[in-house]
Amino acid sequence: MRSNILTTATGFLLPLLLLFSVFLLLRGHNEPGGGFVGGLAAASAFSLHAITHGVRPTRAVLRVQPRLLMGIGLWVAILSGLPALLLDLPYLTGQWAGWKIPSIGKLGTPLFFDIGVYLAVLGMVMTIVFELVED
């Protein structure tokens, strides 16, 4: 089942949705959002693409293996807790840089943790989706 309307629309929707997911991820600390929701939104975007275009093109758009994404996400989350250890604080204690990046906000280890969650969730959902859709 192929719908031209859906296929064409997805072409526009995918970048928009991905942008939205990153927006959700970055605003998460102060406004509703966060890595988990962001990751789910990105995964929905890619899933939509997989439905309309098939798995192979979606893999090409994603470029990396979703399983690898999962692993990277976990590593980022794990590593984001290490700076606290160096300062002799309990693991995962948030550390913040004193300055802000325009349009992103304050930079700190919780942000990296959230990025890790984002990547892991995206990788996880895409692993399952690809496995189910692919034959």
Partner 1 sequence: MISASPSSHSKSDTSVIGQLARSVVLCLLPLIPLAITTWLAMQFEKIVSGETLTFEIAWVPSLGIEASFFLDAFSLTFALLVSGIGTLVMLYATSYMTGDLRKWRLFGWLMLFLFAMLGLVTADNIIVLFVFWELTSISSYFLIGHKHEDATARASALQALLVTGTGGLAMLAGLILVAMATGTDQLTEILDQPELIRQSPFVTGMAALLLLGAFTKSAQFPFHFWLPDAMSAPTPVSAYLHSATMVKAGVYLVARLSPAFAGVPFWDFSVIIAGTVTALLGGFLAWQQTDLKRILAFSTISALGTLMLLLGLGTTYAVQAAVLFLVAHSFYKGTLFLVAGAVDHTCGTRDITRLGGLMRHVPGLGLAAILAGVSLAGVPPAAGFLAKEFVLKASLGSDWPELLTAVVFLISLFFVMVAGLVVIKPFFGSSESLPQMLHRPDARLVLPPLFLGIAGMAAGLLANVYGKPIVAGAMAAISPDVKIKSLALWQGWNLPLMLSLVALVSGGVLYAVRQPMISLFAPLTRFCVVFPTDVYRASLAGLNSMTRWQSHLLQDGRLRVYLLVVLITLCSLVAGTLNVVNLPTEASWLPLKPYEMMMPFLILCATLMAIRAKSRMAAICALGVIGYAIALIFVIFGAPDLAMTQLAIETLTVLLFVFVIYRMPRFATLSGRKSRVRDAIVAIIAGGLMSVIALVASMSHVPSRVSEFYANNSYTVAQGRNLVNVILVDFRGLDTMAEVTVLSIAALGIVALMRLQFRSVSDSTDSVKEEDAEVKDDMDNTKADTESVERLTHDSHIDNDSDISKRNP
Nearer to partner 1, 61 or 92 (CB): 92
In 81-108, alpha helices (H)? 82-86
Smallest separation (angstroms) from partner 1 to the CB of 43: 6
Nearer to partner 1, 12 or 91 (CB): 91
Residue 100: phi and psi, rounded to 5, are: -110, 150
Nearer to partner 1, 98 or 102 (CB): 98
Smallest separation (angstroms) from partner 1 to the CB of 8: 20
Kind and range of the H or E run holding 100: strand 96-101
In 1-108, alpha helices (H)? 4-27, 35-53, 55-62, 66-80, 82-86
For partner 1, the binding residues (CB under 8 A) are 24, 28-37, 40-41, 43-44, 47, 51, 67, 70-71, 73-74, 77-78, 81, 91-92, 94, 96, 106, 108, 110, 113-114, 116-117, 120-121, 123-125, 127-129, 131-133
Residue with tokens 């990105």: 42
Nearer to partner 1, 90 or 102 (CB): 90
Smallest separation (angstroms) from partner 1 to the CB of 22: 14
Smallest separation (angstroms) from partner 1 to the CB of 123: 7
Amino acid (1-letter code) at residue 117: V
Name 39's Cβ contacts closer than 8 Å, sequence gap at least 6. 21, 25, 117, 118, 119, 120, 121, 122, 125
Tokens coding 62: 């994603």
Smallest separation (angstroms) from partner 1 to the CB of 133: 5
